[in-house]
Chain A
Amino acid sequence: ILNVEQSPQSLHVQEGDSTNFTCSFPSSNFYALHWYRWETAKSPEALFVMTLNGDEKKKGRISATLNTKEGYSYLYIKGSQPEDSATYLCATSPPTGNQFYFGTGTSLTVIP
């Protein structure tokens, strides 16, 4: 079992605020880092997959960075909107096999 940790566990921000959260993982036995958004009553939806140290990905107001040497990834949301309210999950995958190892998630609530 790979120990993937996310912080904070939950977050409340005002609409328009920018925010970020962290995913930490063991830097050994690493192949890829995945971010998912999970809205209430919906399926978790893939946001980003990153494999290389220094990778940065962006989708609209959401972006993510990856540091494989120190074992962390940041997810940033610029100008949070109520529709960004969700649980954000990160997961790592090892070089072999198909198993993902998930963190416990960060629950984001954006207050209008």
Chain B
Amino acid sequence: DVKVTQSSRYLVKRTGEKVFLECVQDMDHENMFWYRQDPGLGLRLIYFSYDVKMKEKGDIPEGYSVSREKKERFSLILESASTNQTSMYLCASSSSHDRTLYEQYFGPGTRLTVT
């Protein structure tokens, strides 16, 4: 079974703090993604990576950065957390090798509250 794990299920941080959200996958997938999910807005892509040390901006990258030093790990960084970054954050991974089967596999999510 594909497994995508996220470092925390719930996180509470203060405004201005630097926040790290970690994601690890065990299927040797090339692609990894970070989304946020807000009521009425669906899943919105923040950043994705298709290879180690490679990253691409998604639809809402402002206020975030990412790091992919190893293939299995993709980190989302909030440089200075703000209250409008309170949200559910989901990590996903997928393979590049077979396009017909390149489902995205998701972690359980991290619910981040910034106070």
Report which A residues bind B (CB closer than 8 A): 1, 4, 9, 31-32, 34, 36, 41-46, 49, 51, 89, 91, 93, 98-100, 102-105
Contact = CB atoms under 8 A, between A and B. Distances in A.
A43 B107 contact: yes
Given A42-B108, A43-B107, 20 more contacts: A32-B100, A36-B106, A43-B105, A43-B109, A46-B104, A51-B100, A89-B42, A91-B104, A93-B102, A98-B48, A98-B50, A98-B94, A100-B33, A100-B45, A100-B104, A102-B35, A102-B42, A103-B42, A104-B41, A104-B42
B12 interface: no
Max chain B CB contacts within 10 Å: which of A42, A51, A91, A98?
A98
Interface residues of B, number: 28
Contacts of A89: 42-43
Pairs A-B, 8 closest by C-beta atoms? A104-B42, A102-B43, A43-B106, A44-B106, A46-B103, A102-B42, A98-B31, A43-B108
Nearest to B9: A41
A99 B115 CA distance: 32
Contact of B103 (A9, A49, A51, A102): A49
Given A89-B42, A89-B43, A104-B40, A98 B96 contact: yes
A9 B40 CA distance: 8
28 contacts: A1-B59, A4-B42, A32-B100, A34-B103, A36-B106, A44-B106, A45-B106, A46-B104, A49-B100, A49-B101, A49-B103, A51-B100, A89-B42, A89-B43, A91-B43, A91-B104, A93-B102, A98-B31, A98-B96, A98-B102, A99-B45, A99-B58, A100-B104, A102-B35, A102-B42, A102-B43, A104-B41, A105-B42
A105 B66 CA distance: 26
B45 A46 contact: no
Nearest to A44: B106
Interface string B82-106: 0000000010001010011111111
A34 B48 CA distance: 18
A83 to B, nearest CB: 18
